[in-house]
Amino acid sequence: MKRLIWVSILLTLAAVLLPLAFLSSPVEGAKAVVSPSPSTSPAVPESAVPSPSPPPDYSMDGDFFFKVKFGEGDVRSVSMAEYLPNAVAAEMPVSFEPQALRAQAVAARTYIIYCTRHTNPKHPEANLCTDSGCCLAWLDETELRAGWGESFETNMALMDAACTETDGRMLVYDGAPILATFHSSSAGFTEDGAELWGAVPYLTSVASPETSEEVPNFVTTVEVAPENFRESIKLLYPDTPFGEDPAGWLGGTELDGSGRVRKVEVCGVPLTGSEMRSLFALRSTAFTLEYNGAAFVFTVTGYGHGLGLSQYGANAMAKIGSDYEEILAHYYPGATLK
């Protein structure tokens, strides 16, 4: 058992230390059929800065083709019209409001277009892949039928409608497609891009209306035994001066403007919220941390890196009458829907 714990800790540490070559995924969504997995908030490269060149000139999804790496190595050219509905189906529950599904379709389409203009060194032969840990999630018909059963035709029609009703529409800033990140749920406010990636003009913190009544597992807890807490921190910061009494290990916590943890002191060593999230597999950096005398307890709210569109927030807005244009304008302030 101890060996398994150490292997888990080492793998987690590798996720913290290894640089992300392009963008591990801008997406931490509420997957339709498969369950989402927590991932480290990615670092945005310089390619996230808006390009001065104009976006592609097309008005129909069927006119836009790009290369996708399916699975381990099957690279094919596909049209937006045939690819996008399955991506939306993989990223957002079919039970969400139609206007939320349309907002998701525009965000996913915009991200795909962004990828066609920025080479990903993880798969230079293709514009994007179907690995949700790297690019967008995508499910084929067999996978969707397995998840939806007899509702496949009805559900797929909803996904097709979300795409056709927004056909060809994308988000741009300064004339270029934006990096349209999205995540599952936020704890009252989305994150500011400056906290994780550096300032991105259309990724600023905005209020997000989802609540615990609407979001499954909106608040979660993670308990860590003192010895595991100590060893995890020491793998990342081996010189951390731990004392004998765990009650004295925690120092102050600094929050950013969205209420997420910017840094927390452990024995005088500052760790970022993202480092803590990765080390202890937390669903977000919106957490509190305390020692209860037996274990270190993280209480975590929301799920995902918090940047851009909140999927559950979009659904909450749609329920009170916001259309997809209003939802997108709210979560990507300053971007223009083209």
pLDDT-derived band at 38 (thresholds 50, 70, 90) equals very low
Residue 90: CB atoms within 10 A of its CB come to 25
Q: What is d(CA 248, CA 153) in angstroms, rounded to the nearest whole number?
A: 58
Minimal CA–CA distance to 184: which of 75, 42, 333, 314? 314
Query: CA-CA-CA-CA torsion for 104, 106, 112, 115, nearest 10 degrees?
Result: -110
For the segment 46-96, what is each residue's pLDDT rounded down to a tens digit? Answer: 345 445 566 767 779 999 999 999 998 899 999 999 999 999 999 999 999
- Give the global pTM: 0.87
Please give the average per-residue pLDDT across 160-164, as a whole number: 98
**Three-state secondary-structure class, residue 77:** strand
Alpha helix stretches (DSSP H) within the chain: 2-17, 80-91, 98-116, 141-148, 152-164, 193-196, 226-236, 273-279, 311-319, 324-331
Of 33-42, 160-169, 215-224, 239-248, give the lowest mean pLDDT range.
33-42
Rounded CA gap, 150 and 114, in Å? 35
Report which of 50, 51, 20 is spatially closest to residue 135, judged by C-alpha positions: 20
- Which of the pair, 192 or 57, is modelled with greater confidence? 192
Domain range annotation of the chain: 26-34+48-209+306-337, 219-301
Q: Which helix (H) or strand (E) holds 183?
A: strand 182-183
Task: For 269-284, write each residue's pLDDT tens digit.
Answer: 999 999 999 999 999 9
Q: Using pLDDT thresholds of 50, 70 and 90, give the confidence band for residue 23.
A: very low
Backbone angles phi, psi at 75, to 5 degrees: -100, 125
Of 13, 4, 19, 15, the C-alpha closest to 237 is 13
Please say if the pLDDT value at position 22 is more than 60: no
Instruction: Find, among 188, 173, 175, 160, the residue nearest to 81 by Cα.
Output: 160
Torsion of CA 29, 34, 35, 41, to 10 degrees: -40
**Do 22 and 153 form a contact (C-beta atoms < 8 A)?**
no
Q: For residues 178 and 309, what is the distance between their CA atoms, to the nearest angstrom?
A: 12
Tokens of 129: 């892949």
In angstroms, rounded to a whole number, what is the distance separating the alpha carbons of residues 211 and 213?
5
Task: Work out the average pLDDT over 142-146.
Answer: 98
**Can you give the pLDDT at residue 59?**
77
Radius of gyration of the chain (CA): 20
Task: Tokens for 143, please give them.
Answer: 């996978």
**Model confidence pLDDT, tens digit, residues 283-316:** 999 999 999 999 999 999 999 999 999 999 999 9
Mean pLDDT (the chain) is 88
Q: Which of 6-15, 23-32, 175-184 has the highest mean pLDDT?
A: 175-184
Task: Give the pLDDT of residue 73.
Answer: 85
Mean pLDDT of 191-198: 94
